[in-house]
Amino acid sequence: MTANHAKRAFKYRFYPTDAQVAELSRTFGCVRKVYNLALAARTEAWARQERVNYNATSAMLTAWKKTEELAFLGDVSSVPLQQTLRHLQTAFTNFFARRAKYPRFKSRKKSRKSAEYTTSGFRFRDGKLTLAKMTDPLGIVWSRPLPDRAKPSTVTVSQDAAGRWFVSLLCDDPSVQPLPATDSAVGIDVGLTHLLTLSTGEKIANPRHERRDRTRLARAQRSLAHKAKGDGANRRKARTRVAKIHARITDRRRDHLHKLTTRLVRENQTLVIEDLTVRNMVRNRRLARAISDAAWAQFRSLLEYKAAWYGREVIAVDRFFPSSKLCSACGALAERMPLSVRAWTCDNCGTAHDRDVNAANNLLAAGLAVTVCGAGVRPQRSTPGGQSATKQKTPRREP
């Protein structure tokens, strides 16, 4: 990677020809088959206390191609097949380090359809991308320009549940540079009524993307439920209609969060958030739908990687810190603070508080305190499993 240049993925939609659809569909199927075969082989070996790594599965792939049953694996580019073995190796590495669960088999219906090509598996010239085993370049809609003289290191082709085709190009982006340092710091309290409340007093409304399309989604889901089970054309069409509504919701949510996090990172040097365990919070059946729609985990993920890009700092305050019950004026702690209480007055100093603004101010104060004593906060997540560095578990021993 070029010095001081960040790796950045540029994702575009493309419209393949019938021949390209057939080739990519075959590749997706072969990628899934190789992943599952290698996972089964490694699982059996692990049960026997034997070690199987990427090199061993790569040798297995060569042998599989020579069999009559799996000879079709040689009809597609070998690059995505080798890449899926590398992805499986990464999955096992994360499992043994206790950063992830044991790898699962890929499903034909539910798993993401994708294939990753390295530089030996594609040609990128004059703004045209041609994949291995193809004669024509992909019909990409270049919705934004690539960096000047960009040379993609990897290309990932995928198809979502709505049937849309995407290509993602990983490139060095010289425009990603640390921003000028500022003295600005902000505390950020997430919520449902308001998506974000800042310590400045600003409240950012929750767009509730899923609620806007809930009626259409429910109607499409009812229609799907009434279709006969199996792979019939009517059921496929109904499933695609549901997927398109979900994709519309997801696209709007992602676009809004990208704009929001970019603005916050550009305006502030230090950003303080609460270290919430969203996966536990969605177990509350009454609030699970609203919490999922708010996408707090996605907000944090975007905020953290953009802060790393632009030389900003994100501080996560421990989830047990009583940000809502603590008076930001005098430090007195209220005994109870049910969620229904949106405004309260401190019994000690008489200060009137907006619940969310007060919480954001307390988060900011606690976050700034970490630069002095480091108490009560956790660092940015740096592991794929999302655990903080202070909560790392003992790695599993690989046989």
**333 in Cβ contact with 322 (< 8 Å):** yes
CB-based burial, 150-188: b 16+ in 10 Å, e otherwise:
bebebbbbbbbbbeebebbbbbbbeebeeeeeeeebbbb
Residue 154 to residue 13: CA distance in whole angstroms: 16
User: Tens of pLDDT along 257-315?
Assistant: 999 999 999 999 999 999 988 888 888 888 899 999 999 999 999 999 999 999 999 99
User: Tens of pLDDT along 32-64?
Assistant: 999 999 999 999 998 998 889 999 999 999 999
Phi, psi of 237 (to 5 degrees): -65, -45
Nearest to 276 by CA among 252, 255, 250, 294: 294
Q: Has residue 67 got a pLDDT over 50? A: yes
Q: Has residue 339 got a pLDDT over 90? A: no
User: What DSSP string describes 247-301?
Assistant: HHHHHHHHHHHHHHHHHHHHH-SEEEEE---HHHHTT-TTTHHHHHHHTHHHHHH
141 token code pair:
């809609």
User: What is the model's pLDDT at position 364?
Assistant: 93
User: Tens of pLDDT along 93-136?
Assistant: 999 999 999 999 999 888 999 999 999 999 999 899 999 999 99
* pTM of the shown model: 0.85
Residue 291 to residue 288: CA distance in whole angstroms: 5
Burial (CB count within 10 angstroms: exposed 0-12, middle 13-18, buried 19+), residue 354? middle
Q: How does residue 391 score in pLDDT terms, banded at 50, 70 and 90?
A: very low
Q: Please state the rounded mean pLDDT for residues 196-211.
A: 94
Lay out the sheet containing 377-378: strands in order across: 203-205, 194-198, 185-190, 270-274, 313-317, 377-378
- What ranges in the chain are assigned the alpha helix state H? 18-47, 54-65, 78-96, 209-212, 214-226, 233-267, 278-281, 288-294, 296-309, 355-369
**Positive or negative: CA dihedral 277, 371, 328, 197:** negative
User: What is the model's pLDDT at position 5?
Assistant: 66
Residue 187 to residue 362: CA distance in whole angstroms: 8
Q: Has residue 80 got a pLDDT over 90? A: yes
156 token code pair:
């990932």
Nearest to 281 by CA among 269, 272, 271, 292: 292
**337 in Cβ contact with 358 (< 8 Å):** no
Residue 291 to residue 297: CA distance in whole angstroms: 10
DSSP tag of 229? S
Q: How does residue 77 score in pLDDT terms, banded at 50, 70 and 90?
A: very high
Q: Please state the rounded mean pLDDT for residues 13-22.
A: 97
Domains by residue range for the chain, with CATH: 6-173 (no CATH), 185-206+251-391 (3.30.420)
Residue 256 to residue 243: CA distance in whole angstroms: 20
User: Tens of pLDDT along 340-384?
Assistant: 888 988 888 888 999 999 999 999 999 988 766 554 444 444 433
CB atoms within 10 A of CB 126: 5
**Residues with catalytic function:** 189, 274, 356
Residue 316 to residue 275: CA distance in whole angstroms: 5
Burial (CB count within 10 angstroms: exposed 0-12, middle 13-18, buried 19+), residue 93? middle
In DSSP terms, 203 is beta-bridged to: 197
**Cβ within 8 Å of residue 67, ≥6 positions away:** none
User: Tens of pLDDT along 136-183?
Assistant: 999 999 999 999 888 999 999 999 999 999 999 999 998 888 999 999
**Cβ within 8 Å of residue 303, ≥6 positions away:** 261, 264, 265, 271, 273, 314
Q: Has residue 327 got a pLDDT over 50? A: yes
User: What is the model's pLDDT at position 3?
Assistant: 47
**60 in Cβ contact with 84 (< 8 Å):** no
State the chain's mean pLDDT as an integer. 89
